[in-house]
Amino acid sequence: MLITKPDYFDRFQCIAGACPDSCCKEWDVQVDDVSAELYRNLPGPLGDRLREVLCEEDGETVMAIIDGRCPMWRADGLCRIQAELGEAALCKTCREFPRLTHDYGDFLELQLELSCPEAAKFILSQGRPTMVTVESSIGEEAEYDAEAMAVLQSTREQILDLLFDDSRSVPEALAAALLYGYQAQNELDGEESQPFDADSAISSVQEFVKDSNIEEITDFFLSLEVLTPEWSTLLQSPSPAPWTDHHRALAAYLVQRYWLQAVSDYDLYCRAKFILIACILVRYLGGDIFRTAQLFSKEIENNIDNVEAILDAAYSHPAFTDDKILGLLLN
């Protein structure tokens, strides 16, 4: 099996007590069965506390959040389980976070998740990330439509080329990426691959783009589940920041994370729109992009209901028509 990861992947280290946010805040942590059994049978005060705070939700064991924090979080920012029992005793969720594994059966892609502030520094500071591939003896059968996967892999390379083509401004590169997403969907649907001319694609839509206002988009995001007051405040008072190369890096991270997932349902264009909507939102909310993008990931990427609501709305919500999305990029 081949395992592909960004070259910075293995350099990530959790900064624990120095973290400006924390993965131990606000989220319920899902505890895997092996760890839940260990925790429930642990003797002593730590075991007593774990038995108090573990609960069942929808058939899963979760660590209840108390006063906005994981009850294992200590005042020095360290985890009580890790401090008393060592890292190996952490549940799978905490041991792996923010490392993501995209498992396609016969190949794996690894990625860091943007919702961790330390990972966000790696993700957003890069130009196009250098991917490294290593071979592993473990592996299973491919569990996907090979023809569709080949289209997705080659179109993913092309959209990354467009995003990092610095002959175009950042919003033009993003507009080109959206327009290319439409062509890539057609290829996934069986049309022959064709060269994509970004400049003529952009000039052909110039007369159709519509003025839009970001409030239509922020209102939609306010209608989703909101985790933190900070996110709600940002959505209520957007303050646009300049486009920068960090927005190209943000788009590339999202492409890397979501593009191949279209192999499951053949719906690539809604994912292309999701990626563009995310970049537009982060830019228009303003603030420090590292913090705003990290918060976007925490609020949206970590809530599957929110992700699905955006994927659905990409086709149906009046704020997300192509002419309006392009208007926010090109006008």
In the complex, the residues that contact ligand SF4 under the rule CB under 6 A are: 14-16, 19, 21-23, 97-98, 116-118
Which residue, 299 or 322, is less far from ligand SF4 as judged by CB? Answer: 299
137: Cβ–Cβ under 8 A, 6 or more apart, which residues?
A: 1
Structural tokens at position 310: 């955006």
State the nearest-atom distance from the C-beta of 110 to ligand SF4, in Å: 15
State the nearest-atom distance from the C-beta of 93 to ligand SF4, in Å: 11
State the nearest-atom distance from the C-beta of 18 to ligand SF4, in Å: 8
State the nearest-atom distance from the C-beta of 79 to ligand SF4, in Å: 9
Which residue, 83 or 134, is less far from ligand SF4 as judged by CB? Answer: 83
Which residue, 96 or 308, is less far from ligand SF4 as judged by CB? Answer: 96
Which residue, 118 or 172, is less far from ligand SF4 as judged by CB? Answer: 118
Which residue, 114 or 209, is less far from ligand SF4 as judged by CB? Answer: 114
Which residue, 24 or 268, is less far from ligand SF4 as judged by CB? Answer: 24
Question: What phi, psi does 244 have (nearest 5°)?
Answer: -140, 175
State the nearest-atom distance from the C-beta of 261 to ligand SF4, in Å: 24
Which residue, 184 or 295, is less far from ligand SF4 as judged by CB? Answer: 295
Q: Among the residues of 214-288, which ranges form H helices?
A: 214-222, 229-236, 245-258, 269-285
State the nearest-atom distance from the C-beta of 298 to ligand SF4, in Å: 9
CA distance 119 to 98: 7
289: Cβ–Cβ under 8 A, 6 or more apart, which residues?
A: 124, 241, 244, 246, 247, 250, 282, 283
CA distance 259 to 256: 6
First to last CA, the chain: 46
> Per-residue DSSP letters for 16-41?
GGG-SS-TTBSPPEEE-HHHHHHHHT
State the nearest-atom distance from the C-beta of 126 to ligand SF4, in Å: 17
Q: Among the residues of the chain, which ranges form H helices?
A: 33-40, 44-53, 80-85, 92-96, 117-125, 146-163, 170-188, 198-205, 214-222, 229-236, 245-258, 269-285, 289-296, 304-316, 322-330
Question: Cis link prior to 6 (omega < 30° from 0)?
Answer: no
